[in-house]
Amino acid sequence: MFAVTIDQRGSRRDGDRVPDLLRALEERWPGIVADSTVARPSGCVRGFERTVGDEVQAVLEDAGLVVEIVSWVLRHGGWSVGIGAGRVDEPLPPNARAASGPAFVLAREAVEAAKSRQRVVPLAVRGAHHQAGLDAESVLTLVAATAARRSAAGWEAIDALEAAGPDVRQEDVAAAMGVSQQAVSQRLRTALYDESRTAARAAAHLLVSAQG
């Protein structure tokens, strides 16, 4: 299992942004928030909810979903993210806030480490398999750092491509954007889109191994 803890950065300066984060998560992944009125998405065991202060937490079992959510949160900025990979105490209570187990202890260690000002990306992973957790952290950090360097044009092409679905052709995306197919292809190459997707899959595999 994966306990994912997300803590707001600079809350004294910016005020409480947790409600905005929960709304945005629910819009992006309907059912991912604990009090959602729709069914949880596959891979979500307990939805995101506020735990203490300016922090939210969820329990997930799909490493790919963990990578998607963490990458999305880091892209939008303002949050420290900790991932704990390991066992959770069974039976799980109805919400993440009341749950316990090694994964939650690891997530706490991870989010505290993620707050270090020495980190280029405010992310940390701690796993029952220690080295696999650190390896997952390294790959996820590379993915997030690459994403942070993308231009607005690069993100426009990526967002349009992903919104259109897995079977869409670049020609169709280009037509919808009003640019040439070559322009879309160039934007994706410059953004290292294919390379980042490959790295994200590797990170997911490492997270699975980090569970021990």
State the pLDDT at residue 14.
73
Residue ranges of E strands in 24-182 = 44-50, 55-60, 79-85, 123-127
**Per-residue pLDDT tens over the stretch 199-209:** 999 999 999 99
Is the full-model pTM beyond 0.85?
Answer: yes
Q: Please indicate, yes or no, whether residues 49 and 118 belong to a single structural domain of this protein.
A: yes
Q: Is residue 31 part of a domain?
A: yes
State the pLDDT at residue 84.
98
Q: Is residue 194 scored above 90 in pLDDT?
A: yes
Q: Is residue 10 scored above 80 in pLDDT?
A: no
Domain that holds residue 22: 2-129
**How many percent of the chain have pLDDT more than 70?**
100
Q: CA distances (Å), 130 to each of 84, 125, 151, 210, in order?
A: 11, 9, 35, 7
**Per-residue pLDDT tens over the stretch 159-187:** 999 988 888 888 989 998 999 999 999 99
Q: Domains in the chain: how many in total?
A: 2
State the pLDDT at residue 93.
93
Q: Please indicate, yes or no, whether residues 116 and 162 belong to a single structural domain of this protein.
A: no
Mean pLDDT of 39-68: 96
Confidence of residue 192 (pLDDT cuts 50, 70, 90): very high
Sequence-distant (6+) residues with CB within 8 A of 184 are 157, 160, 161, 170, 173, 174, 177
